[in-house]
Amino acid sequence: MVVEESREIVVVLDEEERVIGASRRARQSLEGLEEGKPLPDRLVAPDHLPVRVPYEVDGRRETLVYLSAPGLAAYEELRAGFTAAVSHELRTPLARLLALLDGADLPNAKPLELIEQARAEVEQINELIDDVLFLSELETGREVVGLGTSPVAPVVEDVVGRLRERADRAGVTVEVEIETGFELPMRPRMMRVVAENLVQNAIRYAGEGATVRVGARHEDGRGVLEVADDGAGVAEADLPRLFERFFRADRARASRGTGLGLAIVKHVVGSAGGSVEATGGPGRGLRIRCVF
């Protein structure tokens, strides 16, 4: 029970170096760990810094193996941080929703307005859950991203059309320029996910009066999908972190976005063999390029 509940990455081996027990954290963190079988070679390599503690119990010789690796520690920290961030992000709209419901009992309450505001909070919660589940599917390989190629123009034009009203409310102009017949190595659904998240991000953060340009073309033998705006931009120090889950630049902190859109873009594009980069600066807008 002590081993099972340990917060450390601990494995118990028998005399023949087979796994006979492991901590919960070890089972969650170490892929390929299986009782009755030896530890996979990659888990006992020097870079995993194994600490072995032999002992005897009831005449049997066993070994406690403590595994510690920078990569594992970073993964555990990321996983714990992700869980905490999801919890925090869900609590915010839930708290607002509860406040709206409590307000319905107050004198002079306007039920229809409260219902409309409550619906927006529920949609926010639903969007966050959908994004978290979609990321999970991508990471477990359940979604095949690069399956043939798809024309870009129909998908992008449909996405922009659907977001036109939102852009108008934000005071943002969206322009589209796509090379004739241009295709990218993604399924249409995945291309829609990328385009939608990029355009939504630009509409949400560029600022009133900004122009968002969506372009797709060949450059030096490579396929490029790009969304650029001439709006408020972000601090240059924040650019490398834009694709982290739940990261928000200062200007974005008051937004109701899930903080997962650009993380999803990076994952989808990477799974299709591409790369993503962000450039810009304060007052110089933001340009996000997906290169295949």
pLDDT in tens, 180-237: 999 998 878 788 889 999 999 999 989 999 999 999 999 999 999 999 999 988 888 8
Of the candidates 42, 46, 43, the one whose C-alpha atom is nearest the C-alpha of residue 22 is 43
Query: What number of other Cβ atoms are within 10 A of residue 283's Cβ?
Result: 9
Regarding predicted confidence, which is higher, 93 or 64? 64
Kindly report the average pLDDT of the chain as a whole number: 81
pLDDT of res. 46: 55
Angle ∠(138,68,10) on CA atoms, nearest 5: 90
Q: What CATH number is given to the structural domain containing 171? A: 3.30.565.10
Does one domain contain both 132 and 110? Answer: yes
Answer with the one of 103, 120, 139 that is the final residue of a domain: 139
In the chain, beta strands by DSSP E: 10-13, 19-22, 51-57, 60-66, 150-151, 173-178, 183-184, 211-219, 222-229, 275-280, 286-291
In a domain, 205, yes or no: yes
In a domain, 123, yes or no: yes
In a domain, 144, yes or no: no
In a domain, 216, yes or no: yes
Q: Kindly report which listed range (151-155, 169-173, 262-266) carries the lowest average pLDDT score.
A: 262-266
Answer with the one of 13, 37, 68 that is the final residue of a domain: 68
pLDDT of res. 187: 79
Whether 38 contacts 63, CB under 8 Å: no
Does one domain contain both 179 and 236? Answer: yes
Contacts of residue 146, Cβ cutoff 8 Å, sequence gap at least 6? 185, 186, 187, 271, 272, 273
Answer with the one of 114, 139, 164 that is the final residue of a domain: 139
0.75 surpassed by pTM:
no
In a domain, 275, yes or no: yes
In a domain, 9, yes or no: yes
In 207-264, beta strands by DSSP E: 211-219, 222-229
Please name every residue paired with 219 in a beta bridge, in sequence order, or none if there are none: 222
Angle, helices 70-103 vs 111-139, to 10°: value is 160
Does one domain contain both 204 and 246? Answer: yes
Domain residues for 267? 150-291
Does one domain contain both 164 and 269? Answer: yes
Whether 269 contacts 226, CB under 8 Å: no
Tokens, residue 117: 């505001």
Does one domain contain both 187 and 276? Answer: yes
Regarding predicted confidence, which is higher, 201 or 82? 201
Give the whole-angstrom CA distance, residue 98 versus residue 101.
Answer: 5
Regarding predicted confidence, which is higher, 267 or 221? 221
Over residues 87-106, the pLDDT tens digits come to 666 777 788 888 888 888 78
Does one domain contain both 133 and 248? Answer: no
Number of domains in the chain: 3
In a domain, 73, yes or no: no
Q: What CATH number is given to the structural domain containing 109? A: 1.10.287
In a domain, 212, yes or no: yes
Confidence of residue 121 (pLDDT cuts 50, 70, 90): confident
Does one domain contain both 221 and 284? Answer: yes
pLDDT of res. 231: 92
